[in-house]
Amino acid sequence: MDIAKEVTKAKRGDREAFVRLVKHIESSLHNTARSIVKKEEDVADALQETILKAFKSLDSLREPTFFKTWIFRILINECRSILAKRSRIVPVSDIPAASSVSKDYENVELRELVDGLDEQQRIVVVLYYFEDMPLRQVAETLNVSESAIKMRLNRARNALMGKMKLVQEGKMDYGSL
CA of 29: how far to CAs of 34, 35, 46, 50, in Å? 9, 10, 9, 9
In a domain, 22, yes or no: yes
Do 79 and 113 lie in a common domain?
no
Q: What is the pLDDT along the chain (177 residues), one digit of tens a residue?
A: 889 999 999 999 999 999 999 999 999 999 999 999 988 999 999 999 999 999 999 999 999 999 999 999 999 999 989 888 875 545 555 545 444 444 454 566 777 888 888 888 999 998 998 888 899 999 998 899 999 999 999 999 998 888 877 777 766 555 555
Round to whole Å and give the CA distance between 13 and 19: 12
Q: By residue range, what is the domain housing residue 132?
A: 101-177
Last residue of a domain, one of 86, 121, 141: 86
Q: Is the separation of the CB atoms in 144 and 153 below 8 Å? A: no
DSSP-derived letter for residue 97 is: P
Q: What is the pTM of this model?
A: 0.67
Instruction: Report the Cα 94 to chain-centroid distance in Å.
Output: 23
